[in-house]
C-alpha cells in the first residue's frame, strides 16, 4: 500500500478506518451499512472540520471535555516539539526540567497539596490514588483500612479496578468480576432526591446516607472516599449546598482520606483551577488528566499532601516506598504541553471567562427550559452544564436514549457537536451535556443553544 497516497486520499482514509480502526465507545454496525466513520482532520478555536470538509462548532472540547484551551494552539505544539527534540523521555526515577517546572506551577495553584505523581490517563491517575490508600492501609492498619468508597453515578476510569469504583451501569455491565474492596454510597442529585426531601434536608439526607455506609462497613475498614467534585458523565450533578463541607467533616471524623477526581473539572472547567475549590474543601489526593494539557499530549497527575507522601519514605522497610511506575509518565511532551496550557489559561483570563460565559450558557439553557417543557432541570458550573430531559415535569420520567441520540444527531447535522451523559442508573442517560473550550464567546454559546432549540423542536415538538 502506498501510504503517502493513502494519507492524501480522503475516501481511502475513510475506508481504512472502516476496515481497521476500533473506535472508543461506539457501536460499529452502522459502518457496515453505509454510515461512514467520522474523521476529524483540523481544528481551530472551538471549530473542527471533518474529512468531508464540513465545519462543526464543538461544544464538548474534543468530544470528551478535554481541549480546554481550544484547538490549533501553535504555542503548545512548538513547546512540545522543542522539548522532544532536546530531551524526549527518561523513566520517572529521574526528574526532567518540564516535570519539575510544571509541578511547581501546579502546586502554586493547589494550597495544601505538595507532591505530583505523573502518569498518562485519568484511569491511571486514579489507580495510583487507590494504590496509595491500599499501601498506607497495609503499613499502618495491617491491611484492614483498605476499602474505598465511591458514589453512584460517578465514573473514575476504564480499567477493571476503576470500574470497581464506578457508579455507572452502562460502563460497568459485563466487565465483572471486579476488584474487591470498593463500596458505593448514594448519589447527590437533588432533582432526583431519593427520599423526596430538598434544600438543607436533602443535603443532610445525602450526608447521612454516606455516614450510614461508613458505620455499616466500619470506619476502621475504610481508607478513602473518592468523588468527582461535580459528577460529569453521570449527569452533570452539582452537589447540594453544604454537601462538600459535610463530606469533609465525615472524612475528618472517621479518619478517611478524601480523594477528589478532577479528571474533568480540573484546569478551569468550572471557573476555578479545580472543581473542589468551588466548595472550599481540602482534599488529601487529587487526580487530574483531560484539561491538564488540553489533549495536546497525554498526561495525568495524582497530586497528594505531604502527609500522604511522607508515609512512603520508610527506609527501614524494603517495601517502604511507592512501588509503582508509569513508563510514559517519563515522557516530557506531557509537562511541556501542560506548562503552556496553564500559561494560556492564566494569560487569557480563561478562569474568568469560564465563570462569566458559564452564566451565559446557563441563562440560555434556562431560556430553553421556559420554552420546552421537555427540559426538567438545568445544572452545572462554569463552562460545564447539563440539561436533563424528561417526558413530563411532574413524573420526571426520563426521555429515552433514542430521543437523546436523535437530538444530538440533529445538532450534528446543523454542524454543532453536543454531548449526552452516559447511562448511569438504569434509564438515565437523558442529560444533554455542554463543555466547550474555555475561550467560548457569547456568540459561540448562542449558536450552540440555538441549534439545541431547533433540534428539540424537531425531535420532540
Ligand atoms: N475520571 C473521570 C471523572 C472521567 O470522566 C474520566 C473519563 O472520562 C476518567 C476519570 C478516566 O479518564 P481516562 O479516560 O483518561 O482514563
pLDDT tens-digit map of 215-239: 999 999 999 999 999 999 999 999 9
Write down the pLDDT at residue 46: 98
pTM (predicted TM-score): 0.98
Q: Could you tell me if the CB of 155 is within 6 A of ligand 1?
A: yes
Which residue's CA is minimally distant from atom 5 of ligand 1?
Answer: 264
Q: How far is the centre of ligand 1, averaged over its atoms, from the C-alpha of 290 (Å)?
A: 8
Instruction: Encode pLDDT of 275-331 as tens digits.
Output: 999 999 999 999 999 999 999 999 999 999 999 999 999 999 999 999 999 999 999
Chain mean pLDDT for the chain: 97
Q: How far is the centre of ligand 1, averaged over its atoms, from the C-alpha of 368 (Å)?
A: 29
Q: Could you tell me if the CB of 156 is within 6 A of ligand 1?
A: yes
Q: How many residues does the chain have?
A: 461
Compute the chain's Rg from CA coordinates. 22
Q: Which atom of ligand 1 is nearest to the CA of 65?
A: 8
Contact assessment for residue 149 and residue 213, using Cβ atoms and an 8 Å cutoff: yes
Q: What residue has cell string 484546569?
A: 267
Percent of the chain with pLDDT over 70: 100
Q: Which atom of ligand 1 is nearest to the CA of 121?
A: 15
Q: What residue has cell string 450558557?
A: 361
Question: How many alpha carbons fall within 13 Å on the CB side of residue 28?
Answer: 9
Q: What is the DSSP string of 305-321?
A: -HHHHGGG--TTSTT-S
Q: Could you tell me if the CB of 232 is within 6 A of ligand 1?
A: yes
For residue 291, the 8-state DSSP code is: G
- Does the bond joining 177 to the residue before it have cis omega, within 30 degrees of 0? yes
Write down the pLDDT at residue 427: 74
Q: How far is the centre of ligand 1, averaged over its atoms, from the C-alpha of 73 (Å)?
A: 23
The answer regarding whether domain 38-69+349-460 maps to CATH 3.90.1150.10 reads yes
Q: Could you tell me if the CB of 262 is within 6 A of ligand 1?
A: no
Q: Work out the pLDDT band at 25, boundaries 50, 70, 90.
A: very high
Quote the CA–CA distance of 335 and 313 in Å, as a whole number.
25
Quote the CA–CA distance of 358 and 360 in Å, as a whole number.
5
Q: How do the domains of the chain map onto residue ranges? A: 38-69+349-460, 74-347
Contact assessment for residue 203 and residue 458, using Cβ atoms and an 8 Å cutoff: no
Pocket mutation for ligand 1, best pick of 289, 291, 384, 422 (most atoms within 8 Å of C-beta): 289
Quote the CA–CA distance of 43 and 50 in Å, as a whole number.
9
User: Fold identical between 38-69+349-460 and 74-347?
Assistant: no
Quote the CA–CA distance of 371 and 381 in Å, as a whole number.
22
Quote the CA–CA distance of 356 and 349 in Å, as a whole number.
11
Contact assessment for residue 248 and residue 227, using Cβ atoms and an 8 Å cutoff: no
Q: Is the dihedral of CA 53, 54, 58, 62 positive or negative?
A: negative
Helix, strand or coil, per DSSP, at residue 263: coil
Contact assessment for residue 357 and residue 383, using Cβ atoms and an 8 Å cutoff: yes
Q: Work out the pLDDT band at 7, boundaries 50, 70, 90.
A: confident
Pocket mutation for ligand 1, best pick of 122, 302, 420 (most atoms within 8 Å of C-beta): 122
Which residue's CA is minimally distant from atom 13 of ligand 1?
Answer: 122
ipTM of the complex: 0.99
Answer whether residue 57 shows pLDDT above 80. Answer: yes
Contact assessment for residue 306 and residue 313, using Cβ atoms and an 8 Å cutoff: no
Q: Could you tell me if the CB of 122 is within 6 A of ligand 1?
A: yes
Q: Could you tell me if the CB of 157 is within 6 A of ligand 1?
A: yes
74-347 to CATH, choices 3.40.50.880, 3.10.129.10, 3.40.640.10, 3.40.50.150: 3.40.640.10
- Phi, then psi, of 109 in degrees rounded to 5: -95, 0
Q: Work out the pLDDT band at 460, boundaries 50, 70, 90.
A: very high
Q: Which residues contact 234 (CB under 8 A, 6 or more apart)?
A: 152, 153, 154, 155, 167, 168, 187, 228, 421, 422, 424
Quote the CA–CA distance of 434 and 381 in Å, as a whole number.
11
Helix axes 333-347, 74-86, angle to 10 degrees: 150
Q: Could you tell me if the CB of 158 is within 6 A of ligand 1?
A: yes
Q: Could you tell me if the CB of 263 is within 6 A of ligand 1?
A: yes
Q: How far is the centre of ligand 1, averaged over its atoms, from the C-alpha of 232 (Å)?
A: 9
Q: Work out the pLDDT band at 423, boundaries 50, 70, 90.
A: confident
Contact assessment for residue 416 and residue 59, using Cβ atoms and an 8 Å cutoff: yes
Q: Could you tell me if the CB of 265 is within 6 A of ligand 1?
A: no
Q: Which atom of ligand 1 is nearest to the CA of 154?
A: 3
Write down the pLDDT at residue 426: 79
Q: Work out the pLDDT band at 1, boundaries 50, 70, 90.
A: confident
- Phi, then psi, of 8 in degrees rounded to 5: -100, 15
Write down the pLDDT at residue 424: 77
Q: How far is the centre of ligand 1, averaged over its atoms, from the C-alpha of 122 (Å)?
A: 5
End-to-end Cα distance, the chain: 50
Helix, strand or coil, per DSSP, at residue 223: strand
Would you state the cell numbers that stand for residue 408, as one nine-digit string? Answer: 444530538
Average of per-residue pLDDT across 185-189: 97
Find, among 42, 50, 47, 51, the residue nearest to 59 by Cα: 47
In three-state form (DSSP H/G/I as H, E/B as E, the rest C), the secondary structure along 247-289 is: HHHHHHHCCCEEEEECCCCCCCCCCCCCHHHHCCCCCCEEEEC
Burial class from Cβ neighbours inside 10 Å (0-12, 13-18, 19+) for residue 85 reads: exposed
Q: 10 Å Cβ neighbour count for 72?
A: 14
Burial 425-450, CB ≥16 within 10 A → b, else e = beebbbbbbbbbbbbbeeebbebbbe
Q: Could you tell me if the CB of 121 is within 6 A of ligand 1?
A: yes
Q: How far is the centre of ligand 1, averaged over its atoms, from the C-alpha of 289 (Å)?
A: 8
Quote the CA–CA distance of 77 and 337 in Å, as a whole number.
7
Answer whether residue 437 shows pLDDT above 80. Answer: yes
Q: How far is the centre of ligand 1, averaged over its atoms, from the C-alpha of 393 (Å)?
A: 31
How far, CA to CA in Å, does 267 sit from each of 28, 58, 352?
A: 33, 19, 12
Amino acid at each position: 500500500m502506498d501510504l503517502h497516497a493513502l494519507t492524501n486520499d480522503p475516501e481511502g482514509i475513510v475506508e481504512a478506518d472502516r476496515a481497521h480502526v476500533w473506535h472508543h465507545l461506539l457501536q460499529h454496525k452502522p459502518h457496515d451499512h453505509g454510515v461512514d466513520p467520522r474523521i476529524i482532520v483540523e481544528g481551530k478555536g472551538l471549530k473542527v472540520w471533518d474529512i468531508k470538509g464540513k465545519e462543526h462548532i464543538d461544544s464538548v472540547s474534543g468530544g470528551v471535555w478535554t481541549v480546554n484551551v481550544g484547538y490549533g494552539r501553535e504555542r503548545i505544539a512548538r513547546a512540545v516539539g522543542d522539548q522532544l527534540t532536546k530531551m524526549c523521555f527518561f523513566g520517572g526515577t529521574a526528574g526532567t526540567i518540564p516535570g519539575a517546572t510544571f509541578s511547581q506551577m501546579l502546586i502554586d495553584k493547589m494550597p495544601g497539596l505538595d507532591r505530583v505523581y505523573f502518569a498518562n490517563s485519568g484511569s491511571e491517575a486514579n489507580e495510583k490514588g487507590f494504590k496509595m490508600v491500599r499501601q498506607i492501609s497495609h503499613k499502618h492498619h495491617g491491611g484492614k483500612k483498605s476499602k474505598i468508597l465511591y458514589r453512584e453515578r460517578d465514573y473514575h476510569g476504564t480499567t477493571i479496578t476503576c470500574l470497581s469504583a464506578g457508579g455507572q451501569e452502562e460502563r460497568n455491565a459485563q466487565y465483572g468480576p471486579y476488584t474487591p474492596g470498593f463500596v458505593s454510597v448514594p448519589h447527590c442529585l437533588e432533582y432526583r432526591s431519593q427520599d423526596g426531601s430538598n434544600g438543607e434536608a436533602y443535603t443532610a439526607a445525602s450526608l447521612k446516607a454516606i455516614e450510614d455506609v461508613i458505620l455499616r462497613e466500619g470506619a476502621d475498614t475504610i481508607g478513602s472516599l473518592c468523588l468527582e467534585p461535580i459528577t460529569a458523565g453521570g449527569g452533570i450533578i452539582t452537589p447540594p449546598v453544604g454537601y462538600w463541607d459535610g463530606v469533609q467533616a465525615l472524612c475528618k471524623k472517621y479518619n478517611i482520606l478524601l480523594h477528589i477526581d478532577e479528571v474533568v473539572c480540573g484546569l478551569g472547567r468550572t471557573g476555578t483551577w479545580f472543581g473542589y475549590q468551588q466548595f472550599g474543601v481540602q482534599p488529601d489526593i487529587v487526580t487530574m488528566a483531560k484539561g491538564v494539557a488540553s489533549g495536546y499530549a497525554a498526561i495525568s497527575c495524582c497530586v497528594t499532601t505531604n502527609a500522604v507522601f511522607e508515609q512512603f519514605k520508610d527506609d527501614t522497610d524494603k517495601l517502604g516506598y511507592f512501588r509503582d511506575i508509569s513508563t510514559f509518565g517519563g515522557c516530557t511532551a506531557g509537562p511541556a504541553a501542560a506548562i503552556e496550557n496553564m500559561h494560556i489559561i492564566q494569560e487569557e483570563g480563561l478562569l474568568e471567562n469560564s465563570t462569566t460565559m458559564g452564566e451565559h450558557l446557563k441563562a440560555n439553557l434556562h431560556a430553553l427550559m421556559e420554552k420546552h417543557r421537555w427540559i426538567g432541570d438545568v445544572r452545572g458550573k462554569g463552562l460545564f452544564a447539563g440539561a436533563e430531559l424528561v417526558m413530563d415535569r411532574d413524573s420526571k420520567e426520563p426521555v429515552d436514549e433514542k430521543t437523546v441520540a436523535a437530538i444530538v444527531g440533529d445538532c450534528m447535522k446543523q454542524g454543532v457537536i453536543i454531548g449526552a451523559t452516559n447511562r448511569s442508573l438504569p434509564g438515565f442517560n437523558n442529560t444533554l451535556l455542554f463543555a466547550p473550550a474555555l475561550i467560548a464567546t457569547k456568540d459561540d454559546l448562542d449558536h450552540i443553544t440555538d441549534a439545541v432549540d431547533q433540534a428539540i423542536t424537531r425531535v420532540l415538538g
